Structure formats: C-alpha cells, structure tokens
Structure 1
Amino acid sequence: MAEAAAARLITKVVDAQAARGTASVVLTGGRNGNGLLAALAQSPARDAIDWSRIDLWWGDERFLPEGDPERNVTQAREALLDAVPVDPARVHAMAPSDGPYGSDVEAAAAAYAAELAAAAGGEDHAHVPAFDVLMLGVGPDTHVASLFPEHPGTRESVLTVVGVHGSPKPPPTRISLTFPAIRAAREVWLLAAGEDKAGAVALALSAPGEVQAPASGAYGRSRTLWLLDRAAAAKLPPSLYPPASA
C-alpha cells in the first residue's frame, strides 16, 4: 500500500507542478504515513518532483519539544525530507512545546491557522490553501489527524486548527486541522493498512457520522480516495471491495 500510494503521490505532485507551477501537500504521520514517505524516498521516480516548488504541511502534530522522536515532523525528516532538496521555507511544521508559544497549545494552533490563511492568498474556502493532496492515516478507533471520536474538535465548524487536550492516544496534547481545513483540499487520501484497521475502515465507510467516526467526515472537494491493503479492507462488503478471486 505504501509503495502504491507513493507512486500515486509522485504523479499527483508532478501533474500539479506542471499545471500550476507548484504543489501543496498535507502529510500525515503514524505507521502508514511514515511508510509512504519511506517508500517515496526509495522510489527511483522521486526526482521527477521539483522539491523546490512544493509546500508541505501537516494534518496534526504531537505538542512535544523540537526534535522529539515522536513528533511527526521529526519522523518525516528521517523518512524523507532529509534526503530530498526541499526548500526549508516551504516546510510548514507546527510549533513545538518549547517553541515561541511555550506550553500554550492554543496559541500555537492559532499561529498555524494564521500561516495557513496567509498561504491561502484570499482563496474563498475556509482560509486555507487549496491543498492538492491531503493525506490522513486512519486510526483503529476511526480517528484522523488528531480528531478523535466524540472529542470537541470533531464539532468545530469555524476554526481551521485547534489545540487538542486529553487525547486518548499519547501524548495527550496535540495540534490538529479541523474538518473545515481538511475539506478545503482538492483531494483527500485516507491510508489504512493492517488487520487492526479493518473495523475502523468498515465503520467509517458505513457513514455513521463524523463525531462518532471522524474518518467518515474527511473528504475532498473533487476527490476522496481510500488507499487500503487487503487486511484493512477485509470487513468491507464485496460491493465495495471484491475478494481476490473476483
């Protein structure tokens, strides 16, 4: 799944750069997101991307000190970014807990929202850029970014970035895009691999509601793509994912 998704992403970025001169991608962390970045780093086609003309954002971040190995940006640098000539000014990391806002996660979230709004350049959709691709890993509980079932962030309809408190998955304090920001993307890709994701995938695709199953509320303006391996798709009805023999 990671290799197939990486190949798709290379094609999408190259097409966006050919059409508009630049590309904008929102990265995701976790097992599946980092697997995709590692696969991209190993791909012989990675150099088809003009790394000086791509903006990289994050869907969420763990509010930990700069360089902490659990931060998504730290893991992304190790998996891919340190190996490609990306413009540092176009790598838009969320603030760490020892950064300019200290331990004030709400201020850090507001600063990221302001950075998104500045990059949007007046585009009329929720004060965020029209991301070419926004990638999200799907958690076993159906969470995406750091929007967890029944948490306040799933009900946010105005703010594009929020501070997350009391996350059921450590660390408890995080920063996350909200649904208004996610849905501004041209394409949203949801990544899930492994049998531990099968129940979440089946639940999210049964349309239970975004508060109960946040992955069901993540969709793009022109396309929503679920990228699964067979284990993650095992509980889907055959009409959605036919068996291998079909």
Structure 2
Amino acid sequence: MTTTVPKIFAFPEFAGVAEAVADHVVHAQNTALAKDPYKIKGSNSAGGVASDGIMSGATGSGIISSSQSAAHVSRASSSRSIKGSSGRSNSAKMKKVKERRFKIALSGGSLIQVLHEGLLKRTDVQWGKWDIYFADERLVPFESPESNFGRAKRQIFDQVDTSRYGSPKVYHINESLIDDPQECADDYEKVLIRGFAGRDSVKLPMFDLFLLGCAPDGHIASLFPNFQENLRENLAWVVPVQNAPHGPSNRISLTIPVICHSHRVTFVVEGATKAPIIKTIMERPEKGLPSSIVNEGAAGRVAWFVDDDALTDVSVTKKKYTFLEADSDSGKSGN
C-alpha cells in the first residue's frame, strides 16, 4: 500500500455524488477567482477537506476551436512575456485580479452527466469566468455521441443561461484534424500554450481543477494501462493515441505531468462495475495504473468522489464531504 492515500468521499447514491462534486467545483472556482488564490485562510486546494490536511480569442458563443488560437506560439516566447511582466503597475495588477479566470479540464464519460446533474441547478456558477479545456478527446465528429466536446456542449454548455451567468470559453480540438492524431495533438498543445503562457509556469500548464473519471479497465482521460508509452511521456503536454484498446480508435490526451501539475485533481467514479479497478488502484498501487500514478504524482491534491457501489469490497477510509459553498437556490444549506 502507498503511504500517499487520497481523500475518498463516499455517497450512498449518484445524486449525492453530483451535488458534492458541484460544490467542490464551485469552491475551486471561488478560490481561483479570489484576490489571493490558494492563500485563503481556512481554505485549501482540495475543497471540502480543509480540516483533513489537503494542501492548499473567443467566438460570440464562447466556444473556441484550436484553429482560432495562435499557430506559432512557443514556450520560449511565452517565457519572455512572463519575464517582461515584473514591472506592472498596481493598476495593472488590479486589472489582472479583475480578469482572473477559472481554468478547468474535463474528461468525458459519466462525468459529463454528473456535472449536468450537479452544476446546472446552482446559481453560484460564474460561467462567464470559466476557461474549459478537455482532458482528452475522441477523434470523431462533434455530432457523434462519442465526442467529449459534443456531449458536454449538448448536456452542459447549451443549457447554461448565458444571459444571466455569461458564456464560458470552451477550448476544443480542431475538428478538421480528426483524421491525423499527431497533428491534432500538436495543434491542441498550441491551444494550451496560448492559454497558459501567462500562468505560474510555462514548463507545464497549471489547471485550477482537473476532473477525471476512471473506466472499468483503469484508463483515465485517454491514457490506457500498459498501452504504448504514453504513461511515461514527460515532455509533451498532449499526445496522440492510436489504435486504442476499445472505443474510438484514435484520440488525443493530456499527459500525466499535466494532470499532476494541477492545483486540484478530482476523480468522479460511480457504479459497481468500477469496484474491481478501484480496489486495485487503492490497494495495489504498485500495479502502476494511471490513477495510482496520479495519486502519487499529485499527492496531497487528489480527491475521489465515489458512490458506495464503486467501493464494494474496497478497503479504504471513507470521508464525509463538508459543503463549503452552499447555494441556497440549489437546496443545500451546508454541513
């Protein structure tokens, strides 16, 4: 067993997971948009676990394709822009605070439904200040039910009351490149470089929150166990995935270093079919499953939200989630 044990929040049913995850997301949002992000007294990076020691160019619709980002942005030029920013005036700093954005990465699968159930009924989601990226994408047309962006658009983005909450900026792959995984991956990496050029580090992007599911075979995003060399990639931000073991054959995925560099990494898992793989992840980390690697690599910043079915016969210590950002209109009064 690893000594790096993530916080595991268990719920008797799916609805409880959705409500807690929504609160966790809003807490991450509020922390990221605060005057001094990640330095809020009594707060921390994991959200909902303060007492448990976890460390602290858009189109009109807000949907942004990779082809709309600068095609020739480099890490070197990004670095130069950061070095030249030390002389900003106080007014410029205040403007930066005012323009602060919440940067989040989403995977697909059942996670989209969890967010649909939990977030859309809340009134404290500042959608207009969100920059949304995808942890991975299946290289299929957006209209396909297999498309992470397409599904998220239909189930979440299209249902946001933008007149009231504003429009999120959504950064997806260039659909015209889905026949070339390598080119598509390279292009999406340029999107990330542009989006994170002014953040804390240009070596790796730093998301405020990285949301992941976990499939019954143990893959996260589109990083599969014992498949190709993607789990060992330590330079690229985005990698192509070809001939995937199941599902759409060609994909792209953000890499393990990018995931682990995030302020928060959160897994959302539900259903009895996930119990065997969760048991291996939590009890046999030496097996090297992608989630186990993240548990170690992002130690102290990882939280799992699971229903009881997914923890069947799994030996872990369950935690009770404390609501930190109760939204009166969503029916939650907090704990």
> Fold match, TM over 0.5?
yes
2:268 pairs with 185, 191, 194, which one?
A: 191
In the aligned structure 1, how far is the partner of 2:286 from the partner of 2:208? Answer: 25
Is 1:3 matched up with 2:14?
no
Is 1:208 matched up with 2:285?
yes
1:125 is displaced (CA, Å) by: 4.5
Please name the residue that 1:26 is paired with. Answer: 105
1:8 is displaced (CA, Å) by: 1.6
Asked if structure 2 preserves the Cα contact closer than 8 Å seen for 1:134 and 1:182, the reply is: yes
1:7 is displaced (CA, Å) by: 2.1
Seen in structure 2, the aligned counterparts of structure 1 residues 209 and 123 have a Cα distance that, compared at 3 Å, is farther
1:126 is displaced (CA, Å) by: 6.3
Structure with more contact order per residue of length (Cα contacts < 8 Å, sep ≥ 6): 2
Runs (5+) with no aligned partner, structure 2: 1-16, 36-96, 320-335
Runs (5+) with no aligned partner, structure 1: none
Is 1:231 matched up with 2:247?
no
In the aligned structure 2, how far is the partner of 1:201 from the partner of 1:125? Answer: 32
In the aligned structure 1, how far is the partner of 2:198 from the partner of 2:284? Answer: 33
In the aligned structure 2, how far is the partner of 1:159 from the partner of 1:76? Answer: 25
In the aligned structure 1, how far is the partner of 2:147 from the partner of 2:232? Answer: 25
Aligned to 1:91, the other structure's residue is in SS state strand
What do you get for the CA RMSD once the two structures are aligned? 2.1
Please name the residue that 1:38 is paired with. Answer: 116
In the aligned structure 1, how far is the partner of 2:201 from the partner of 2:260? Answer: 9
In the aligned structure 2, how far is the partner of 1:170 from the partner of 1:131? Answer: 27
In the aligned structure 1, how far is the partner of 2:31 from the partner of 2:219? Answer: 30
1:206 is displaced (CA, Å) by: 2.7
- Which amino acid in the other structure matches residue 23 of structure 2? A
Task: State which structure, 1 or 2, has the greater radius of gyration over its C-alpha atoms.
Answer: 2
Asked if structure 1 preserves the Cα contact closer than 8 Å seen for 2:244 and 2:250, the reply is: yes
Please name the residue that 1:154 is paired with. Answer: 231
Count residues with an aligned counterpart: 233
Aligned to 1:92, the other structure's residue is in SS state strand
Seen in structure 2, the aligned counterparts of structure 1 residues 102 and 80 have a Cα distance that, compared at 3 Å, is closer
1:149 is displaced (CA, Å) by: 0.7
Please name the residue that 2:68 is paired with. Answer: none
Seen in structure 2, the aligned counterparts of structure 1 residues 87 and 221 have a Cα distance that, compared at 3 Å, is farther
Seen in structure 2, the aligned counterparts of structure 1 residues 175 and 102 have a Cα distance that, compared at 3 Å, is closer
Residues 12-62 of structure 1: per-residue CA shift (max 9 Å, x gap): 21232234532111112102x11222113442x2x3122111100111110
Seen in structure 2, the aligned counterparts of structure 1 residues 49 and 113 have a Cα distance that, compared at 3 Å, is same
In the aligned structure 1, how far is the partner of 2:254 from the partner of 2:28? Answer: 22
TM-score by length of 2: 0.65
2:210 pairs with 90, 114, 134, which one?
A: 134
Alignment of 1:64-103 (within 5 A): 64-84=140-160, 85=162, 87=167, 90-96=169-175, 99=176, 101=177, 103=179
Please name the residue that 1:12 is paired with. Answer: 28
Asked if structure 1 preserves the Cα contact closer than 8 Å seen for 2:182 and 2:240, the reply is: yes
Asked if structure 1 preserves the Cα contact closer than 8 Å seen for 2:142 and 2:149, the reply is: no
2:293 pairs with 217, 221, 224, which one?
A: 217
